[in-house]
C-alpha cells in the first residue's frame, strides 16, 4: 500500500491494524472518524504530514502477517466480531462496574471525578448492550443473508428497514456516541493514570477501563471501516 496525503485513515488501518499504534500516538481517531485523509488529520492535529506518512509506511513494511480482516467474507467477519468483541464487552461490563462502585465509595470524596467516570461507564454499558443486540438480532443476520445471496446467486428479499445503509447509519451514530463518552472517561482519568494514593482496586479499575477502550476502538474499526463498507457494496451488487 502506497500511503500519501490523500489516503484515508480507515483504509490504512484496514490494510493492517498495527498502524493503529501510530494514529493512537498522535491522538487520531481511526475508528469512528476514519474517513478522513492524512492531510486532513495532520492539519487538524498539527502533525507533520511527511513524518506521519513515513511512520505509517514503516509500520506497514515491518508488520508481520497480521490477520487481514479486509479480505474476510462479511458473514465470517460478523461472527468474528460477535465472538471476540461482543462477548468480551458482555463479560467485562459487570467486572468494571464492580470496581468502579468500590473505588467510588472509598475514594469518591477525594476524587469526585470517579463518580462521573462511573456514571459515564454505566451509560455506556447500557447503550452498548442495546446496540449489540440490534446488531446480533437484526443487522448481522441480514449481513449473512447478503453474503449467502451473493455466493449462491439467489435473490435477496428486501427487509422492512429497506437498504442495509439505514441500520448502518444508526450504528455509526451510536458508535460516535460511545467514542465521545470514552474520550470523556479518558480525560477524567488522566488517560487511565491512577493517582499517587491509588489502591490496588483503583489501579485495576483503570487498567480494565483502558483495555475496554482499546478493545472498543478495534471493535468499532472492524465494523465501521470494514464490515459495514463491504456489506453496503455487496448489497449494491445484488441489486444491480
Supply φ then ψ for residue 34, to 5 degrees: -80, -15
Domain-located, residue 2: no
Same-domain pairing of 79 and 33: no
Residue 8 pairs in a beta bridge with 37
Task: Give the C-alpha separation, 130 to 170, whole Å.
Answer: 12
Domain-located, residue 197: yes
**65 pLDDT more than 70:** no
- Specify the number of domains making up the chain: 2
pLDDT at 63: 63
Mean residue pLDDT across the chain: 93
Residue 37 pairs in a beta bridge with 8
Mean pLDDT across 143-164: 90
Mean pLDDT across 44-48: 93
Nearest to 189 by CA among 171, 172, 209: 209
pLDDT at 33: 86
Domain-located, residue 1: no
Same-domain pairing of 93 and 45: no
Same-domain pairing of 165 and 133: yes
**129 pLDDT more than 60:** yes
Question: Looking at 20, 45, 62, which one is the last position of a domain?
Answer: 62
Same-domain pairing of 21 and 57: yes
CA distances to 103, 105, 217 from 226, rounded to whole Å, are: 38, 41, 13
Same-domain pairing of 106 and 53: no
**Distance of alpha carbon 136 from the chain centroid:** 16
**66 pLDDT more than 70:** no
pLDDT at 156: 84
Mean pLDDT across 196-204: 95
With pLDDT > 70 as the criterion, what percentage of the chain qualifies?
Answer: 98
**Which structural domain, as residue segments, surrounds residue 172?**
70-239
Across 8-22, 101-115, 208-222, least confident range: 8-22
Same-domain pairing of 52 and 99: no
Confirm if 30 and 9 have CB atoms less than 8 A apart.
yes
**1 pLDDT more than 70:** yes
Same-domain pairing of 141 and 178: yes
Task: Give the C-alpha separation, 43 to 45, whole Å.
Answer: 6
**67 pLDDT more than 70:** no
Same-domain pairing of 80 and 171: yes
Confidence (pTM): 0.88
Residue-wise DSSP of the chain = ----TTSBHHHHHHH-GGGHHHHHHTT---STT--SBHHHHHHHHT--HHHHHHHHHHHHHH------GGGS-HHHHHHHHIIIIIHHHHHHHHHHHHHHHHHHHHHTTT-THHHHHHHHHHHHHHHHHHHHHHIIIIIHHHHHHHHHHHHH----PPPTT-STHHHHHHHHHHHHHHHHHHHHHHHHTTTT---TT--HHHHHHHHHHHHHHHHHHHHHHIIIIIIHHHHHHHHHHHH-
- Reported confidence tier of residue 203, pLDDT bands at 50, 70, 90: very high
Confirm if 52 and 26 have CB atoms less than 8 A apart.
yes
- Reported confidence tier of residue 68, pLDDT bands at 50, 70, 90: confident
Domain-located, residue 3: no
pLDDT at 197: 92
Task: Give the C-alpha separation, 102 to 104, whole Å.
Answer: 6
Amino acid at each position: 500500500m502506497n500511503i500519501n496525503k490523500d489516503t484515508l485513515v480507515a483504509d490504512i488501518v484496514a490494510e493492517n491494524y498495527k498502524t493503529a499504534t501510530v494514529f493512537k500516538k498522535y491522538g487520531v481517531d481511526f475508528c469512528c472518524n476514519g474517513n478522513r485523509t492524512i492531510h486532513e488529520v495532520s492539519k487538524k492535529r498539527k502533525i507533520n504530514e511527511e513524518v506521519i506518512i513515513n511512520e505509517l509506511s514503516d509500520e506497514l513494511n515491518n508488520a508481520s502477517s497480521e490477520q487481514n480482516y479486509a479480505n474476510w467474507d462479511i458473514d465470517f467477519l460478523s461472527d468474528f466480531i460477535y465472538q471476540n468483541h461482543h462477548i468480551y464487552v458482555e463479560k467485562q461490563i459487570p467486572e468494571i462496574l464492580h470496581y468502579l462502585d468500590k473505588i467510588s465509595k472509598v475514594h469518591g470524596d477525594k476524587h469526585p471525578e470517579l463518580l462521573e467516570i462511573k456514571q459515564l461507564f454505566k451509560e455506556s454499558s447500557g447503550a452498548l448492550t442495546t446496540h449489540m443486540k440490534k446488531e446480533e438480532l437484526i443487522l448481522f443476520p441480514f449481513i449473512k443473508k447478503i453474503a449467502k445471496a451473493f455466493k449462491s446467486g439467489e435473490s435477496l428479499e428486501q427487509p422492512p428497514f429497506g437498504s442495509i445503509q439505514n441500520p448502518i447509519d444508526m450504528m455509526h451514530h451510536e458508535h460516535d456516541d460511545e467514542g465521545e463518552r470514552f474520550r470523556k472517561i479518558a480525560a477524567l482519568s488522566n488517560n487511565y493514570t491512577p493517582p499517587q494514593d491509588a489502591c490496588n482496586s483503583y489501579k485495576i479499575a483503570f487498567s480494565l477501563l483502558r483495555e475496554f477502550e482499546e478493545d472498543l476502538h478495534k471493535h468499532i474499526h472492524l465494523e465501521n471501516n470494514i464490515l459495514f463498507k463491504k456489506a453496503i457494496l455487496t448489497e449494491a451488487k445484488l441489486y444491480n
